[in-house]
Structures are given as structure tokens and as C-alpha cells.
Amino acid sequence: MNQAPDFVLFLGRFHPLVVHLPIGFLFFAFLLELFSKWKKNNALLAGIPLALLMGTITAAISCILGYMLSLSGDYEESAVDSHFWFGIATTIVASIAWLIRIDKIKLPKAKSFRANIATLTLLVILLSVTGHYGGNLTHGSDYLIKYLPFGKSEKKELVPVSKVEDAVVYDYLVEPILENKCTSCHNSSKKKGGLSLTDSISIVKGGKNGDALIPGNSVKSEMIKRVLLDPHNEDFMPPEGKTPLTEEEIAILIYWIDNANADYSSKISSVETPENISHLASNFLGLPIEGQKGTVQLPEVGAIKEEVINFILSEGFTIRELVFESNLFEVVLPSKTLKNNTPEEINKKLAALAKIKDNILWFYAEDNGITDTHLNTISEFKNLQKLNLNNNDITDQGITSLEKLTSLNSLNIYGTKVSKNSLNSFLKMQNLEKVYAWKTAIKTEDLAMYMGKENVPHVSLGN
Amino acid sequence: MCNDHHHKKLTSNNRDLQNIEKQLDRRHFLKKTSLGLGAIALSSLLGSEKLLANIGQESAQKEILKNYNKNRLGLPHHLPKAKRIIYLFQSGGPSQLDLFDYKPKLTDMFGKELPESIIGGQRLTGMSGSQSTLPVAPSSFTFKQYGESRAWVSDAMPYLSEVVDDLCFVKGMQTDQINHTPAITFMQTGNQLPGRPSIGSWLSYGLGSDNENLPTFITLVSKNGKGQPLKASLWGNGFLPTEHQGVQFRSGKDPVLYLSDPENYDGQDRRHMLDYLSHLNDLQKDAYGDPEIQARMRQYEMAFKMQTSVPEVTDLSDEPEHIFEMYGKDSKDPGTYAANCLMARKLLEKGVKFVQLYHQGWDQHNYCPGGVKNQSQKTDQGTAALIKDLKQRGMLDDTLVIWGGEFGRTVYSQGQLTKANYGRDHHPKAFTMWMAGAGVKPGFSYGETDDFSYNVVKDPVHVHDFHATLLHLTGIDHERLTFKHQGRRYRLTDVHGNVVKDLLT
């Protein structure tokens, strides 16, 4: 298609603005007509022909501007067609309605047929249909019903994967980005620049300016060039007013084009993946990276009532939210708070935490006379990532009860009676990375025996 | 609750205080009659000041201080790695060339003129800028690689070389300032002019306290320090509420000045006095709405708590002998760098969020080899012991240790270059810092300088980037911790800074 002159395209872009005028005028005429049926008011009646006339004129202008806009070729032809013809029909019916109203056209008056109201009703229907097609062109056909509360058709389901390595780069990482930031303009019905990014076929096909991307060469790929431009540049994508891609999203697109050769079925494991990308991917998907600990996603937990917090504070704990409004807490029992208490009294204190047991991410209770029996209570804090129990009366037996803490990443047990027997417990704790065991019965030679076993945490014995 | 104070009559059974009450009534009468209108106008003016601070509500402040579950500033923004920070500030500008940034090629260039292409038209200081020659001065120290990470360290720091696998070296540090005062101020507050809040104040303001009985931000300065003076604005709160300033602990009998009771006073009725005083201050606050009154009240409370908590935490007598041995013999001499390192560990254990050590004397203009050796001897063992001590206690897991000065030193000799001696001038364009512990890569070196340690050729880290990274480690997005003052919002990094993600675990 030959490109229309710039001036025509410039005028064409006023179409989305001007179309609102006939919509307003014609709807208003309809409302006046209805109203005057209910209550005769000559002053209001006088407004109807004017509203219809203005509606007709602005509708005609809109049609012309709309045609100009369609010359840009940014829109899919079949979709434009329906909008085009309905637009013209609306204009014609509007002019007829005006002529009827001013009695230039006289229709025989049947008993149950009122020409005015009939043409106006038809007009409203036409307006709605035309408007709907127009909306689809501008916003994409799924825009209107995207958040429809019922009858929503689920989009294609991805096979759930358990670790980052199993995820298909395109399906899991690239497509969500495109869908989020690109496809509202680059889809099958609204192909801005002739480009659609909804599926592999159309991506390969490219747009008006050639290929969207060159596999293996992100630097030369139009798509990457455009998102990396200065945001004020007119070629910058996404255009002004839309949310730009984040650094992380760009990094993933580059990784897909360069490392995965823009392939649509490669899994992360089959692609050379730098460390930072696997971290991004792991955050993106909320999945752990194989063989790497400590990257557990933050758990979703319920809110805690103010009274509960106040009660815990009154029991001598200090408590701090670790991420704002995450309801995940660091709980500290200052050292020596309970040192001289009996085990029963300590148990009672710990019981105060029962209501927030899933919300505790870090727990510090050093030097507080805690014994093995108390570790049973602590082992209920299933989301614990950091646990400090140094200088308490803990033995290997107590450590076994901690084995079920699958999120635990760092365990401080220096100055306790723990011995090499606990090393077996450490092996069972999937996410355990660091154990601080200075001043315990664990010796350097004990560690030697465990080297080479699976899931060995780093055990620090001091200097 | 505040409105009640007007109705509650101030009463005390102490005669002196009753006298004050009488005066207060008279004063009130005068104020309410003749100055009443003026006071109303003034208080509404001052009240609007509160709206400017982005945490105007008193309750918000209180909650942050009390460290309750909800932080009204919306912090932390993400899961923190560092629970506390200790910053070992080496004031004067330690020579990166004689400590960590090994430049073997310089040996052959001894005494040769530093190429103009390296200086690149940089304006030098008045101290060496007028020298007729800028001779290259290779380091007189011997460098070796240590640890599994094979990090280069000179023989000036034998103790530190034992812990290099815990350190994360940043060799491409850059600052904007070439003189001490602006450079230190820049490093500590993010701006070269005094008046902005220091790092510790921002953290105290943003994250609150972990121990109500001790200040959140404590400063320790090595005693008998010579060289450029340090001043309280370096640990000042700037425009943040006053209670966020760093509290300096001194060596000797009174770690915090004016904290102990005066002679012949038993302190029995202090609680009563403070309650009464805070009552009076409450009245004043209701009348004028000055947030500083509140800050003052909090500081009185803190001082009261510190009367018991400070003697306890500064008492090193229950430390076992092997710990003193680890920190070196200086550690038994209060106020030395080593003793401060040990004290800092105790403070961190007690839940102090930010401890700032200062050690002066790194300004080697004239006798660089001797000076570096001398300062290294004073600091090396204490620094290394602190790392080891934190590590064995598991505290390195959530404590960030920072070592560094305000700038680096030049490769060329300031003054006469001989085989045995050289001086080095200030150098802002490249210097070395290191971090260790929570959230930074251990046994890692980031950034490179050219063969002269003059320009950064790979991965520069600007002071603003360093600040952004530091805040990131404590769970703060440096762009979102702001305070509105004089009509605009300020940040530690102001309008600069990028988190150096490559340093993070």
C-alpha cells in the first residue's frame, strides 16, 4: 500500500477525538426525544433538530477522518471494513432522522409506528456497533471483556514446572513480557507498524520495517533497538504514555534473542544462562534454581491483628516487619530475657507466638535458657529462614525436631551442646546453607566425613 | 490524648516544682489574654511545618521509634540482607597503592614522569599541583596473594590478609571531592556541604531501633587522632528529627558525656523529674507544635535509659582473655581503634543498628611508607579480629562491615621521591574500599584501575552508587526513602546512584 501524505495521516489521527462528538449529539437527540414523549416541553423539542443536524455533520467529518486514519495501514483491513461501513450507515441514518424531524421526509403515520423514535433507536444501535468496532481497533478485541467477572475463557495453560531450568524460555519468560507491554498495539487486529507479536508465526513474519528481531543478534534487532532508545525519541517503544519495559524485561528479551537464538521451544536448561538471568527468571516465576539455596520465594501469609502484636510485645519480644505489608516478621527475644525461667515458663512465652507462627521469617532467641523441648514449638514456625539459638541448652536431639523446617537457610547454634550427630539432620534440611557452630562439640575432622554428601551446608566452626 | 493536657492541672508535691506551677499560671493568663490571638496564628504557622515533613503524624514517629509491626514510611521495601552495619571509616584517605591495589608495572617506572595522558588534564591540589615534576612512586610494600580468592594484600596488613576470603573489594571507587572535609562529608552524607543527614541517621529514621535502651546510631572515634579534624556534622541528623543523630561514645570514665549523675545526687527522684518535665514539654508542644520539642523529650528518655544500658554495654570486663588476644593488646586500652572494634561488636550484639568508627591519620602527604605502616599497625589486627569475631558468632550473616576512607592517594610522589621514602597526595578518581558480610559476595574483587591506579578502567563505583547499594542491603530502595525539607524531597543519594548488583550475593 502506498503511504498516504503525512498531512492526511496527521488529520486522520484526530479521528479518535472527533468521533465522540456525533456519539454525544445523537445520543442526546435520542434522550430529548424520549423525554419529550414523557413530558411535552416545546423548548426541549426545539433542540432535537439541531442535535441531529450537528450529529450528522460531525459524523460525516468523522467518516472522512477515519478513512484518512485507515490509510496508515496500521489496522487490519477486515476489522477496519466493518467499522467503516457501520460508520457510513450511522451517518446516513442520522441525516434521515434529521430530515424526518424537520418534516422534509414524511412517512405515513401508522398507529403503532412513530418514525422519529424508530429511526433514533436504530441510530443508537448503529452508534453502539460502530463504536464497539472502533474500540476493538484501538484497544484490541479482548480489551472490553478482559476483566469480565464471569464466563472468562482461560487462556492456554502452561504446564506447571517445579524448577526454573524446566521452563521454556519463550512461553514462560518472553511471552508474558510481550503480552504485558507490546500486544495491546501489536496484535492480529491492530497491527501497529504492520507488526503483531502475539504468536511465533507473526513474530517471524515481522512488520512494515522488516524483521522484528534477528535471532542471535539482539544489537541489530529492531525490537531491542527500539526499547533501548532514548525515551524521548519518537521511535521509542512502547510509545509515550505506555509503561516502558524494565531493565529486567529487556535483559530477558536480549537473553532470548542472543542465547536462545529466539527459539520458541528451548528450555532454560538447554540454553547457556548467565547467573543474573537465572535469578531474574527465578524471581519472575517464583521458582527455585536447582542446586542453589536461599532463593525461596517469600511465603504468602495472612495479616496479624494489632492486639496479637501488642500481646507478643508485652511478653518481652521485639518484632519488626521485614517487608512492608508482607506480614512477615523478624522476632527477637533479647538475650537473657528468660535465662532464669523454668522450662515451663519459657514454653508459655513461646506459646505467645503460636498465632503468628507462619509469619515468622527470622527468629532470634540467643542466650535464653532454651532447651530441646522448646525446639518442638519453634519447629512449628514453618516459614523460618533464619534461626539464632546460640548459647542455649540445646543438644542433637532438639536439632532433629528442626528437620522439618524446609525453608531454613541460616542456623546459628554456637555455644550449644550440639555434636556431629546433628550433621545428619542438616543434610535433611533442603534449603539450609549456613550453620554457625563455633564452641560446639562439632570438630573439623567431623566435617571431613560429610564432604561430598548431598546437600551439605557450610558449617562454620570459628577460627 | 494530647488535648487532655490542658485540662489536667499540673500538680506536684515538690516545693520547687509548685513554684513553677504558680509562674506557669501567671504566664498562661498573660499569654491567653494579650498574646492569645498571636499565639493561635503562630501555632497554625508552625503547625503547617509539620505537614512538610513527610511523617508529620506523631504516632508515626512513635511507632517507628518503638519499632512496632507497622513502619509508617512503608519500609523495608524488600527483604533486607543486613540487619546492622558497622562502618570502619579510615579518615585521611588510605593509600590504595600501598595496601590493596597491586601495580607491579610501576617498579620499572620508578622516578619516571607520570604521563600527561594518564592525568588527563585533571586539576591537582594546591599541595602538589605546583610541583615541577610528578615522579611515579611504586609502593615500597611487598604484595602477596592470599586465601582461596587470591586477593592481593600488602605486607602492611598481615592480619587482614588472613580474612580476605570474607572480603568484597571495590577497587574502582570514585568520589567528586579532593579535599578532606568536603570528601568526608560527601562520603557520610551524600553531599559535600555539611547539613545533610548522615547514613546512620537515614537508617535510624527509616528503619527505627532494635533496642529501645540504646541509640540506633552510635559513633566511636579512635583516641589521640591527629590530622584533619572530625566534626559532629559527619554523624549529624541534618534536617531529620534530632533523635536520629549519631551518639558519640567516648573512651574513659564517661562514654557518653553528662550521662552520669552529678556528685551528691542519688538520682532517686529522676523518674519523677522526667515525667514532670515531659508534662511541661507536652504543654509547650500543644501550644507551638514544634516537632523539636518532641525530639527533645525522646532524647531525655533515651538518656535516662542509657544511664543503665551504657555502663553495661561499655563494660568489657566479662570478655574472655582469648578475645582480647584476638583484637590485640591495644584492645585493653579504652579508646584505641582495637578497643573500639571490640566495643562495636558488643553494641551490634545488643541491637544497635549502625555503628560508625572513625580512625584518623591516613593522610600520608610526606612519609607515606612509614605512615601507612604505622596506621596499619594500629588498625589491622582490630579490623581482622572484628571480621573473625562476627563470623564465629554467626553475625557476619546479617551484619555488613564497611572499610574505607574519603578518597585515595596519587601514584606520583608529593615532595621528594627517594628509594626509601615518598609522599602521596589526595586522589579522588580511584580508590579501594571493601565490604564484608551480609549480602555482599565474599572473596570477591570488583572493578579495575589502570596501571597507575589513577583512573578506573573497569566497573567504577561512585559514592552515590555505594550509598544506593548500602541502603539496598538494608531493604531500602534508595529512591523511595525521602524527606521533604525546604520545599523539596531529599534522599541520601539525592538524584543520583545505582545499586551495584554485581556486588550482591
Separation in Å, CA of A159 to nearest CA in chain B: 30
Angle, helix A77-101 to helix A20-38, in steps of 10 degrees: 40
Q: How confident is the model at residue A183 (pLDDT cuts 50, 70, 90)?
A: confident
Which of B74, B80, B501 is facing A322, going by the closest CB pair?
B80
* Predicted pLDDT of residue A164: 80
Average pLDDT over residues A209-237: 88
Give the model confidence (pLDDT) of A310-365 as tens digits.
899 888 899 999 998 889 999 999 888 888 888 888 999 999 999 999 999 999 99
Mean pLDDT (whole number) for B164-178:
97
Strand partners, B485: B488
A314 phi, psi to nearest 5 deg: -70, -20
Q: What is the pLDDT of residue B38?
A: 54
- Higher per-residue confidence, A200 vs B137: B137
- A462/B392 touch (CB, cutoff 8 Å), yes or no: yes
Amino acid identity for residue B157 in this structure: M
- A414 and B78 within 8 Å at the Cβ level: the answer is no
Query: Using CB atoms, which residue from B351, B394, B475 is nearest to A412?
Result: B394
Q: What average pLDDT does this structure show over A256-266?
A: 89
Q: How confident is the model at residue A199 (pLDDT cuts 50, 70, 90)?
A: confident
- The pLDDT confidence band at residue A296, using thresholds 50, 70 and 90, is low
Annotated domain spans of chain B: 82-99+142-257+316-503
Q: Identify whether the C-beta of residue B163 lies closer than 8 Å to the C-beta of residue B389.
A: no
Provide, rounded to the nearest whole percent, the portion of chain A with pLDDT above 70: 93
Q: Are A322 and B80 in contact (CB under 8 A)?
A: yes
Higher-scoring residue by pLDDT: B175, A293: B175
Mean pLDDT of all residues in B204-209: 92
Low-confidence winner among B210-214, B337-341, B426-430 (lowest mean pLDDT):
B210-214
Q: What is the largest CA-CA distance in chain B?
A: 86
CA distance B92 to A417: 46
When comparing pLDDT for A179 and B198, which is higher? B198
The size of the A-B interface in CB pairs under 8 A is: 78
- Do the Cβ atoms of A323 and B71 come within 8 Å? no
Whether the per-residue pLDDT at B11 is higher than 80: the answer is: no
* B394: nearest CB among A276, A319, A388: A388
State the distance between the two ends of chain B, measured CA to CA, in whole angstroms: 47
- Dist CA B248 CA A137 (whole Å): 67
- Asked if residue A150 has pLDDT above 80, the reply is no
Distance CA B141, CA B160 (A): 15
* pLDDT given at position A1: 47
pLDDT in tens, B42-100: 555 454 444 444 444 444 444 444 444 457 788 899 999 999 999 999 999 999 999 99
Residue of B309, B392, B480, B498 best to disrupt the A interface, most CBs of A under 10 A: B392
pLDDT in tens, B116-135: 999 998 999 989 988 999 99
Report yes or no: A298 at the B interface, CB cutoff 8 Å: yes
- In A, which residues are within 8 Å of B473 by CB distance? none
The percentage of residues in chain A with a pLDDT greater than 90, rounded to a whole number, is 36
The lowest-confidence range among A133-142, B230-239, B264-273, B402-411 is A133-142
Nearest CA in chain A to B163: A463
For residue B255, what pLDDT is reported?
85
The whole-number pLDDT of residue A112 equals 52
* Res A45: pLDDT: 83
Chain B residues whose CB is inside 8 A of the A276 CB are: 501
Give the distance from residue B393's alpha carbon to the nearest chain A alpha carbon, in angstroms: 7
Higher pLDDT, B471 or A153: B471
Q: Distance between CA atoms of A436 and A434, rounded to whole angstroms?
A: 7
Categorize the per-residue pLDDT at A114 as very low, low, confident or very high, splitting at 50, 70 and 90: confident
Q: What is the mean pLDDT of chain A?
A: 86
Sign of CA dihedral B102, B104, B107, B111: negative
Q: What is the pLDDT of residue A91?
A: 93
Q: Which residue has better confidence, B104 or B311?
A: B104
**What's the pLDDT tens digit per position in B298-323?**
888 998 999 889 988 888 888 999 99
Say which CATH topology domain B82-99+142-257+316-503 has. Answer: Alkaline Phosphatase, subunit A (3.40.720)
Angstrom distance (rounded) from CA A42 to CA A39: 10
Q: Is pLDDT larger for residue A320 or for residue A37?
A: A320
Does the distance separating the beta carbons of B74 and A323 come in below 8 Å? no
Asked whether the beta carbons of residue B70 and residue A334 sit closer than 8 angstroms, the reply is no
Mean pLDDT of B139-166: 96
pLDDT at B12 over 90: no
Q: Answer whether A324 sits within 8 Å of B77, measured CB to CB.
A: yes
Share of chain B above pLDDT 70, in %: 88
Q: Where are the alpha helices (DSSP H) in B315-439?
A: 321-327, 337-349, 368-392
pLDDT > 80? residue A142: no
| Contact: B76, A323; criterion CB under 8 Å | yes
- The mean predicted confidence, pLDDT, of chain B is 88
Give the model's confidence band at B250: pLDDT under 50 very low, under 70 low, under 90 confident, else very high: confident
Give the model's confidence band at A165: pLDDT under 50 very low, under 70 low, under 90 confident, else very high: confident
Lowest mean pLDDT among A115-124, B81-90, B234-243, B407-416: A115-124
- B335 to B50, B107, B338: CA distances (angstroms): 40, 39, 8
Preferred mutation among A436, A439, A444, A459 to probe B, highest tally of B CBs within 10 A = A436
CB of B211 within 8 Å of any CB in chain A? yes
The Cα of B223 is separated from the nearest Cα of chain A by a number of Å equal to: 29
Question: What does each C-alpha distance from B353 to A2, B244, B433 come to in angstroms?
Answer: 68, 12, 21
Asked if A390's CB is within 8 angstroms of B210's CB, the reply is no
Considering only CB atoms, B71 lies closest to which of A321, A335, A361, namely A321
If you average pLDDT over residues B228-247, what whole number do you get?
Answer: 92
Residue of B nearest to A295 (CA): B505
For residues B441-454, give the mean pLDDT: 96
Cβ within 8 Å, pair A319-B74? no
Cell numbers given for A452:
561430598
Cβ separation A412–B475 shorter than 8 A: no
Mean pLDDT, residues A31-43: 84
On whether any CB of chain B is under 8 Å from the CB of A105, the answer is no
Q: Residues B318-342: what's their mean pLDDT?
A: 94
- Say if residue A428's pLDDT is above 50: yes
pLDDT confidence of residue A101: 84
The reported pLDDT for the residue numbered A288 is 63
Contacts 24+ apart (CB under 8 A), A131-137: A131/A19, A131/A23, A133/A79, A133/A82, A133/A83, A133/A86, A134/A16, A134/A19, A134/A83, A134/A87, A136/A79, A136/A189, A136/A190, A137/A75, A137/A79, A137/A80, A137/A83, A137/A189, A137/A190
Burial (CB count <10 Å: 0-12, 13-18, 19+), residue A419: middle
**Average pLDDT of B273-292?**
87
Q: Which amino acid is it at B416?
A: Q
Q: Which residues in chain B have their CB less than 8 angstroms from residue A320's CB?
A: 67, 69, 71, 208, 210
On chain B, the residues whose CB falls within 8 A of the CB of A412 are 393-394, 397
pLDDT of residue B363 exceeding 90: yes
Q: Does B394 touch chain A (CB under 8 A)?
A: yes
Identify all chain A residues contacting B349, using CB atoms and an 8 Å cutoff.
Answer: 335
Judged on CB neighbours under 10 Å (0-12, 13-18, 19+), A462 is middle
Q: What is the mean pLDDT of residues A435-445?
A: 93
Length of chain A: 463
DSSP A300: P
Please report which confidence band the pLDDT of residue A423 belongs to, taking 50, 70 and 90 as the band edges: very high
The reply to whether A355 touches chain B by the CB within 8 Å rule is: no
pLDDT computed for residue B262 by the predictor: 84
- Encoded amino acid at B308, one letter: T
Is A410's CB within 8 Å of B78's CB? no
* Nearest by CB: B397 against A318, A324, A434: A434
Per-residue pLDDT, averaged over B421-448, amounts to 96
Interchain CB contact of A307 with B (< 8 Å): no
Exposure of A192 in the CB half-sphere (CA atoms within 13 A):
14
User: What is the rounded average pLDDT of the residues A254-265?
Assistant: 89
Q: How does strand B483-485 pair with strand B488-490? A: antiparallel
pLDDT tier at A463, thresholds 50, 70, 90: low
Average pLDDT of span B203-227? 91
Q: Does A172 touch chain B (CB under 8 A)?
A: no
pLDDT above 60: residue B6: no
Closest alpha carbon within chain B to A327: B69
Chain Cα centroid distance, residue B255: 17
Q: Considering only CB atoms, which chain B residues are within 8 Å of A324? A: 71, 74-77
pLDDT at B153 over 90: yes
The neighbouring-strand residues paired with A286 are none
Q: Does B424 touch chain A (CB under 8 A)?
A: no
What is residue A37's predicted lDDT score, i.e. its pLDDT?
81
pLDDT band at B331 (very low <50, low <70, confident <90, very high): very high
User: Which residues have a Cβ under 8 Å from the Cβ of B497 and sit 6 or more positions away?
Assistant: B462, B464, B465, B467, B468, B478
Interval B32-51: pLDDT, tens: 555 545 555 555 545 444 44
